[in-house]
Amino acid sequence: MRNPFSRAVSTYEYLRMDRSYWHANDGTAPFGMTPLHDVASGKTFVEFMRCAAKVRCTMTDHHHLHPQHWYTHSPEGLPLVDRVVRLEDGSLSEQLSRLTGRPGLSVPVINSSGSSGRDWRGYYRGGEGQEAAEIVLSMYALDFVRYSYDPKPE
């Protein structure tokens, strides 16, 4: 699980990339270019979020934009998992070690957007940043509630 504000920034940065570990147009990556590249490329963050809100409402196959509760809860709201690990609560390896009772468990993580360590809060400053925050809050309202994330991007 990831803070929806942080996840939106990471998604934006990832989708703007012409090449990543996962996608490229020249056959050198496992997948071709995502159709959402055009939604993010050449746009400011708030412009991307405006488009993302529209696209998410009309297309169900864009997993980058799905609320995270789609993966942990049924359409009726019933939990599909026993526990959720939040990225902000420590390293993934540490949390999975605690969860499984297997100390020293190592999990490789591919961060292809390069957003690790980036201060995502800057994307939500100013007038357009506030608008972007309102869109994220609207798109991922249940994620904020279900996973106890602060609804303020501070």
- The predicted structure's pLDDT at residue 35: 75
Whole-prediction pTM: 0.83
Domain span at residue 62 reads 4-82+120-146
Residue given tokens 């297309």 in the structure block: 59
Could you tell me if residue 140 is inside a domain? yes
Please report whether residue 78 resides in a domain: yes
Whether residue 10 lies inside any domain: the answer is yes
For residue 16, count CB atoms less than 10 angstroms from its CB and return exposed for 0-12, middle for 13-18, buried for 19 or more: middle
To the nearest 10°, the Cα dihedral for 129, 40, 48, 136? -80
Q: What is the mean pLDDT of residues 102-124?
A: 73
Torsion of CA 44, 140, 118, 45, to 10 degrees: 0
Position 12 in a domain: yes
What pLDDT, on a 0 to 100 scale, did the predictor assign at position 111?
Answer: 61
Tally the domains of the chain: 1
DSSP letter (8 states) at residue 30: S
The whole-number pLDDT of residue 4 equals 96
Quick check: is 39 in a domain? Answer: yes
pLDDT at 81: 93
pLDDT at 57 exceeding the cut of 60 = no
Q: What is residue 109's predicted lDDT score, i.e. its pLDDT?
A: 66
pLDDT beyond 70 at 117: no
In a domain, 141, yes or no: yes
Q: Is residue 109 part of a domain?
A: no
Separation CA 64–CA 94 (nearest Å): 25
Q: What is the pLDDT of residue 106?
A: 78
Averaged pLDDT score across all residues of the chain: 84
Residue 119 pLDDT class (50, 70, 90 cuts):
confident
Whether residue 35 lies inside any domain: the answer is yes
